Amino acid sequence: MARAEPNLTTTRTDMSETNLSPANIKNYLLDTNVLIHDANSMFAFEDNHVYVLVSVLKELDELKSKPGETGANARRAARNLDALREKGLLCNGVGLDSGGRLYVIPHMKDGLDLDPALVDNQLLTTALKLRELTGMKSVVVTKDVNLRVRADGVGIPAEDFKNDLLDGIDYCGYSDLVVPSQSIDSLYADGKIDLPSNAVLLPPNHYLRLVCDIDTKKTGLAKVAGGQMEAIEANHSILGIKGKNLPQCFALHALMDERIRVVTLRGKAGTGKTLLAIAVGLHRVLGEDGPYRKLTITRPTVPVGNDLGFLPGDMDEKMHPWMRPIYDALDTIRESDSRSGKSHIPANFMEHDIVDVAPLAYVRGRSIAGSFMIVDEAQNMTPHEVKTLITRTGLNSKIVLTGDVDQIDNPYLDARSNGFSHLISKFRGQDIFAHVELMRGERSKVAELAATIL
């Protein structure tokens, strides 16, 4: 039985009623990975037409039982489409609040000699056919780089999903500021001074190295707070761990400052992100006046290279390979603490239920109160995953996210679209947020050289 072509009469009627021409409206065909990345992406295309292929829905159906964010977004996207059915038949197109229309259609054949069994090929042939039938520019929207390249090869425009791509992701959280000598003297005498006119636009908790205008050897350290510069100290020693460079000192200050409830530490491998965060977390939990009951550590389980597949054992045994870097950091801190003189970390501290090492999937649905939370490798999380995690933060909790946007293992994320960069961009300017970029590797000369030139 011949397959009916989608009803495009509604599309042409809409254009005439709103005085829009095909040149003003585009057809956007969404790949499965876009809906998995953001289940609400179908609503992000303003007054254009959005197409979801039936074969894409089949892939969503196959993914809906997957654990974590993949399955959750597959189910959420299906619910969004089901809610739109109340407006009419999806095959005829239904209106969106943005002014556009959404269609669910079977794929259309075209003259391209492509294997129709592949959903990627169905997107390409349908885009060509829609362009022919509607006279509108048709665009394939996908997180798959290879599909975007293939689309170019057959003359179809293709784009990444840009709604959550960020500009200005190079914010490092600190800078130098040249000031008169008396400003540095006043800062340390009074504890804080007014911001100079050339620094009033700096966000809260931005760190400053003040440099004297007549003697560059005279410097001071400050933080922007309440529209003023607040003097800070840079000699923190936490369980034997000290800042080895100025950014690490700024990071330690942000981690120790209880007014700052969300901290992001970004930097290449070996810069000390995880080590500093765990050291401060243990210190704040184990201290007699520590404000937290527990140190909660998690990280996304995205493999580097080939996936190891099924891992035997209970949850702790399954998670051990993923959390090995965390345990390495804990061992380093315990050794450093024991060498510092008086040991603050009990030998069997892991058995005292003060450190909770949990997979990211087990954090969903929890309300984590009274905890110092650390999220390692946060660059592998989507914006929605980061939002889900941040909203788990309960009363009297602090959350620290560490990441390196040059080491993203999730195939559908990059330096601008990942949730870690999204958080830094959106939270910048909030009184409870601080960000520090760690530039110099301190793990070893070998690690620093490899991170820089490889």
Q: Quick one: average pLDDT of 312-331? A: 66
| Rounded-to-integer distance, Cα 257 and Cα 263, Å | 10
* Buried residues in 357-372 as b, exposed as e (16+ CB within 10 A): bbbbeebeeeebeebb
- AA letter at 286: L
| Predicted local distance difference test score (pLDDT) of residue 320 | 60
Give the chain's length: 454
pLDDT digits (tens, 9 = 90+) for 345-376: 766 666 667 888 777 766 666 778 899 999 99
**Does the pLDDT of residue 19 top 90, yes or no?**
no
Domain assignments of the chain as residue spans, ordered by start: 9-159, 165-232, 237-453
| Predicted local distance difference test score (pLDDT) of residue 260 | 96
Q: Same CATH fold, 237-453 and 9-159?
A: yes
Residue 302's pLDDT band, with cuts at 50, 70 and 90, is: low
pLDDT digits (tens, 9 = 90+) for 62-79: 999 887 778 888 999 999
CB atoms within 10 A of CB 350: 13
> In which element (H, E) is residue 209 found?
strand 207-212
> In which element (H, E) is residue 219 found?
strand 219-225
| Predicted local distance difference test score (pLDDT) of residue 235 | 76
Residue 312's pLDDT band, with cuts at 50, 70 and 90, is: low
**Does the pLDDT of residue 278 top 70, yes or no?**
yes
Say which residue, 159 or 443, is predicted with more confidence: 159
| Rounded-to-integer distance, Cα 147 and Cα 321, Å | 33
* Buried residues in 62-96 as b, exposed as e (16+ CB within 10 A): ebbeeeebbbbbbbbbbebbeebeeeeebebbbeb
In degrees rounded to 5, what are phi and psi of residue 256? Answer: -85, -20
| Predicted local distance difference test score (pLDDT) of residue 94 | 95
> Which range (14-23, 48-57, 190-199, 272-281) has the least confidence?
14-23
CATH homologous superfamily, domain 237-453: P-loop containing nucleotide triphosphate hydrolases (3.40.50.300)
From the list 161, 119, 106, the residue with the least C-alpha distance to 139 is: 161
**Percent of the chain surpassing pLDDT 90:** 49
Return the CATH number of 165-232, one of 2.50.20, 2.40.50, 3.30.200, 2.30.130: 2.30.130
- AA letter at 27: N
Mean pLDDT of the chain: 83
| Predicted local distance difference test score (pLDDT) of residue 417 | 83
DSSP state, residue 171: -
* Buried residues in 292-310 as b, exposed as e (16+ CB within 10 A): bebbbbbbbbbeeeeeeee
What's the predicted TM-score (pTM) here? Answer: 0.72
Does the domain made of 9-159 have the CATH classification 3.40.50.1010? yes
> Which range (55-59, 166-170, 378-382) has the least confidence?
166-170
Where would I find the beta strands (DSSP E) of 226-383? Answer: 228-231, 237-238, 241-242, 262-267, 294-298, 355-357, 371-375
Say which residue, 389 or 332, is predicted with more confidence: 389
Contact 52, 98 (CB under 8 A): no
Contact 47, 25 (CB under 8 A): yes
Edge-to-edge strands of the sheet including 26-30? 94-95, 101-105, 49-53, 26-30, 137-141, 158-159
Residue 248, token pair as written in the block: 């690490």
**Does the pLDDT of residue 11 top 50, yes or no?**
no
**Does the pLDDT of residue 263 top 90, yes or no?**
yes
Q: In sequence order, which residues have a C-beta less than 8 Å from that of residue 206 and are 6 or more positions away?
A: 173, 174, 175, 223, 224
**Does the pLDDT of residue 46 top 80, yes or no?**
yes
Look-up: residue for tokens 């201290």?
287
| Rounded-to-integer distance, Cα 395 and Cα 313, Å | 34
> In which element (H, E) is residue 390 found?
helix 383-390
| Predicted local distance difference test score (pLDDT) of residue 450 | 66
| Rounded-to-integer distance, Cα 148 and Cα 141, Å | 8
CB atoms within 10 A of CB 253: 21
| Rounded-to-integer distance, Cα 91 and Cα 99, Å | 17
Look-up: residue for tokens 């000290």?
242
pLDDT digits (tens, 9 = 90+) for 408-426: 888 778 888 889 999 999 9
**Percent of the chain surpassing pLDDT 70:** 81
pLDDT digits (tens, 9 = 90+) for 210-220: 999 999 999 99
Rg over alpha carbons for the chain, rounded to the nearest Å, is: 26
CB atoms within 10 A of CB 446: 10
Contact 190, 160 (CB under 8 A): no
